[in-house]
Structure 1
Amino acid sequence: MESVSKIGFGGSCHWCTEAIFQSLKGVALVEQGWISSEKEKSSFSEAVIVYFDPGLISLETLIAVHLHTHSCTSSHSMRSKYRSAIYVFSEEQNALSRQAIDVLQAEFDKPIITTIESFHDFKLNQETYLDYYYKNPQKPFCKNIVTPKLRLLLQQFFGAVDHNKLVEESLSGL
């Protein structure tokens, strides 16, 4: 990859979020764990850092995937653990993220609650839980929670999916 950028996403279980972004063209690496923002330095929530090639996948596409694959309009009781956020590393990312959310709002019936936060810190998950879906696609959590999100990803973002990573066999059985 020529140039790699990074962006953070939080919104649902980091196992789900990791599998979604690992399945996209132009994504070189997904680190799964917990992120804190500049605003809430001591408050970490489940999230991922996505390393991507902007020449192969745009930040706007990554944000669209993120918003459509978690409850970006719901203020449910687990929001402190699953903060709906985009963690930016620059002012340019901040502006692009705000613009993308404004444009994508038309695709949702309720207001998007996803916040844009300046990245502060990251804690990587234990090795046992990294690459969780692709190591364990037949586990009940993966079959019942992650696989339906990956099916949605295939339906809504077929052109952005790396079909060498996300093969139909891993989605069979449901």
Structure 2
Amino acid sequence: MPDIVKIGLGGSCHWCTEAIFQSLKGVVNVSQGWIESDESLTEFSEAVVVEFDPDLISFENIIEVHLHTHSCTSEHSMRSKYRSAVYTFSEENVSSIKQAIEKFQIDFEHPIITKVMSFKSFRLNNEKYLEYYYKNPDKPFCKTYIVPKLQILLKQFSSHVMTIN
């Protein structure tokens, strides 16, 4: 059995982030809700916990997809609710995550603001909102916000995409 690795990701609506990472090969589970970190000035922020098989998709691939599917360079008014962050479960992953973020800076015109933070706690969303996109693909929110992000996946990361309904 492969070693499964966990990482927390936040930056946009957790419904969007959940759909993105549920669509990737090598991702075995995505939990959608709110993450808290010791380094944060605010409490919980919308995020997901992604569990993946590093033999099928790397930390670097996860970080690259994350940066390209949310506004990782924008300090907008909703940042306390949608903190741009990668949450680590292990100190040993911090430097490789920071290196990946630095590597992908070249893809963006403005500086990446995504922070690398330690995971403190997680609060799962209400059951009726879990797997939101895959249960509700025809809802206006899904068509307006999630589908364009999934199209980025298909265009830029097709080799990592499992299936998109």
Letter in 2 for 1:160: H
Residue correspondence of structure 1 range 92-103 to structure 2 within 5 A: 92-103=92-103
What is the TM-score when the length of structure 1 is the normalising length? Answer: 0.92
State how far apart, in whole Å, the 1-side matches of 2:157 and 2:8 are. Answer: 19
Letter in 1 for 2:113: I
Letter in 2 for 1:32: Q
SS at match of 2:119: strand
Residue 149 in structure 1 maps to residue 149 in structure 2: yes
Partner residue, 1:51: 51
Residue 72 of structure 2 contacts residue 114 of structure 2 at CA under 8 Å; is this kept in 1?
yes
Partner residue, 2:60: 60
Residue correspondence of structure 1 range 12-27 to structure 2 within 5 A: 12-27=12-27
RMSD of aligned alpha carbons: 1.1
State how far apart, in whole Å, the 2-side matches of 1:78 and 1:93 are. Answer: 28
* C-alpha displacement of 1:109: 0.4
Residue 41 of structure 1 contacts residue 120 of structure 1 at CA under 8 Å; is this kept in 2?
no
State how far apart, in whole Å, the 2-side matches of 1:48 and 1:93 are. Answer: 17
Structure 1 runs of 4+ off > 6 angstroms? none
Structure 1 portions without partners, runs of 5+: none
* C-alpha displacement of 1:162: 0.5
Residue 42 of structure 2 contacts residue 80 of structure 2 at CA under 8 Å; is this kept in 1?
no
Residue 65 of structure 1 contacts residue 153 of structure 1 at CA under 8 Å; is this kept in 2?
yes
* C-alpha displacement of 1:41: 7.8
Q: Percent identity over the alignment? A: 62
Deviations 1:19-68 (A, max 9, x none): 00000000000000000002238610000000000000000000000000
Residue 33 of structure 1 contacts residue 48 of structure 1 at CA under 8 Å; is this kept in 2?
yes
Residue 63 of structure 1 contacts residue 100 of structure 1 at CA under 8 Å; is this kept in 2?
yes
Deviations 1:102-145 (A, max 9, x none): 10001100000000000000000000000000000000000111
Partner residue, 2:122: 122
Number of residue pairs matched? Answer: 165
Residue 6 of structure 1 contacts residue 89 of structure 1 at CA under 8 Å; is this kept in 2?
yes
Partner residue, 1:39: 39
SS at match of 1:81: coil
Structure 2 portions without partners, runs of 5+: none
What is the TM-score when the length of structure 2 is the normalising length? Answer: 0.97
* C-alpha displacement of 1:157: 0.3
Partner residue, 2:87: 87
Residue 41 of structure 1 contacts residue 121 of structure 1 at CA under 8 Å; is this kept in 2?
no
